[in-house]
């Protein structure tokens, strides 16, 4: 008689050290428990595929409530996909995008916007991570000149790659310049929730009402898994997006599981609560280090950017960097000046911060 053996996996699939913490990225955090509960609720029974499910319809309705009745939502897997699909839909093949020289589409997406879409990126120098109408204007020339890719879209990141936040008036000034010069405005909102939490205003105040045409709505960095969206705020700004999403391999079949996660962020203020906590932990990390600097316990640490959202940037001795990193993982930012980035997430605790501050203090003492 043949004996069929089965595996009783139980908790054996959890093979990582659950106590391990880092300040490398909010992408390192897991899925928020409330989001996991929403996923479980959505898992029973069958639903139509490819976005024809009740959860995706509910998400469409919610996005209209938040961003305006004209808003259209296209759920995708990840932020790079959202940016590529959005920018591709916003311009013809001869178009170009003006962005910061630190923009994620410029530095961290493996050339996807240019290789997948075929568009051209014109990068300009940032001011504390942000663009201004004046910096954008440096690339608005040779309009109609056949030898140069034509600038047609400006892309800004909210919050910026340096953790700074555009105010509604700053976004509006950029949008006004764009529209006066026949440009469209795209916002990469990978950390849009952190920006909203920092600003203390409605999403529409610094997107729809400020003149943003198309938004990449992030979720992964705020406690979701493989759930982002392109939100079209100006339907006239895109063409063929529904087809481009499929062509770009960003159309998921079981879309209800992405849509319900995004819905969960809007439920009972979960997204804002999570972002507020991440921002608070970053402020706490910075203020506790500043207190130790003031007390003379730390030498050689300088902060390089404002901490508007959930990121702290600092320079310190490279030997101290390596000493600290042996205990807590984080990323270098600018190797030339020994600048590092410390990120907080929805699940960062005060105990995590205190331990990290102690480790930094000990390294900079020695």
Compute the average pLDDT of residues 253-280: 97
Compute the average pLDDT of residues 174-181: 98
d(CA 213, CA 187): 8
Q: Is 275 found in the same domain as 264?
A: no
Structural domain ending residue among the three candidates 247, 268, 289: 268
Q: Which of 208, 193, 231, 251 is nearest to 60 (CA)?
A: 231
Number of H helices, E strands in the chain: 13, 11
pLDDT digit string (tens) for 200-235? 999 999 999 999 999 999 999 999 999 999 999 999
Q: Are 149 and 96 in contact (CB under 8 A)?
A: yes
The domain total for the chain is 2
Q: Is 295 found in the same domain as 234?
A: no
Using 50, 70 and 90 to split pLDDT, how confident is the model at 14? Answer: confident
Q: Is 277 found in the same domain as 235?
A: no
CATH number of the domain at 302, please: 3.90.1150.10
| Structure-block tokens of residue 177 | 């310049």
Q: Is 81 found in the same domain as 47?
A: yes
Residue 85 falls inside a structural domain: yes
Helix (H) or strand (E) holding 47: none
Q: Can you give the residue range of the structural domain that contains 81?
A: 33-268
Structural domain ending residue among the three candidates 223, 244, 268: 268
Q: Is 172 found in the same domain as 191?
A: yes
Q: Is 236 found in the same domain as 195?
A: yes
Residue 257 falls inside a structural domain: yes
Measured between alpha carbons, how far is residue 268 from residues 265, 272, 320 in Å? 8, 9, 42
Compute the average pLDDT of residues 169-175: 98
Compute the average pLDDT of residues 94-108: 95
Residue 28 falls inside a structural domain: no
d(CA 213, CA 90): 9
pLDDT digit string (tens) for 278-313? 999 999 999 999 999 999 999 999 999 999 999 999
Q: Is 342 found in the same domain as 204?
A: no
Tokens 């490279």 appear where? 318
How confident is the model at residue 63, as a pLDDT? 98
Provide the 10 A C-beta neighbour count for residue 233.
24
Structural domain ending residue among the three candidates 238, 268, 298: 268
Q: Is 218 found in the same domain as 110?
A: yes
Residue 325 falls inside a structural domain: yes
Residue 329: exposure state from Cβ atoms within 10 A (0-12, 13-18, ≥19) = middle
Q: Is 332 found in the same domain as 218?
A: no
How high is the mean pLDDT of the chain?
95
């Amino acid at each position: 008689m043949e004996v069929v053996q089965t595996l009783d996996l139980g908790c054996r699939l959890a093979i990582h050290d659950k106590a391990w913490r880092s300040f490398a990225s909010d992408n390192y955090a897991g899925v928020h428990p409330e989001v996991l509960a929403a996923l479980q609720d959505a898992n029973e029974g069958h639903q139509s595929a490819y976005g024809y499910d009740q959860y995706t319809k509910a998400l469409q309705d919610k996005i209209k409530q938040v961003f305006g009745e004209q808003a259209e939502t296209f759920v995708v897997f990840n932020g790079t996909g959202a940016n590529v699909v959005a920018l591709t839909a916003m311009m013809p093949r001869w178009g170009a995008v003006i962005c910061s020289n630190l923009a994620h589409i410029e530095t961290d997406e493996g050339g996807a916007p240019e290789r997948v879409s075929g568009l051209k990126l014109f990068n300009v120098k940032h001011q504390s991570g942000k663009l201004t109408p004046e910096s954008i204007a440096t690339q608005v020339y040779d309009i109609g000149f056949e030898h140069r890719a034509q600038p047609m879209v400006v892309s800004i990141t909210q919050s910026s790659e340096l953790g700074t936040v555009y105010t509604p008036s700053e976004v509006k000034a950029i949008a006004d310049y764009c529209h006066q010069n026949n440009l469209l405005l795209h916002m990469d909102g990978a950390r849009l929730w952190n920006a909203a939490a920092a600003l203390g205003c409605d999403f529409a105040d610094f997107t729809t009402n400020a003149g943003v045409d198309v938004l990449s709505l992030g979720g992964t960095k705020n406690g979701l898994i493989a759930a982002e969206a392109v939100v079209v705020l100006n339907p006239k700004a895109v063409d063929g997006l529904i087809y481009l999403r499929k062509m770009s391999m960003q159309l998921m079949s079981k879309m209800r599981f992405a849509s319900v996660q995004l819905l969960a962020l809007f439920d009972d203020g979960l997204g804002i609560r999570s972002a507020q906590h991440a921002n608070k932990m970053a402020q706490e990390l910075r203020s506790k280090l500043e207190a130790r600097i003031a007390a003379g316990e730390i030498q050689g640490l300088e902060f390089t950017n404002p901490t508007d959202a959930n990121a702290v940037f600092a320079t310190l001795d490279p030997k101290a960097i390596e000493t600290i990193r042996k205990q807590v993982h984080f990323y270098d930012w600018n190797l030339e000046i020994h600048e590092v980035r410390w990120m907080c997430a929805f699940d960062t605790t005060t105990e995590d911060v205190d331990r990290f501050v102690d480790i930094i203090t000990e390294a900079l003492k020695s």
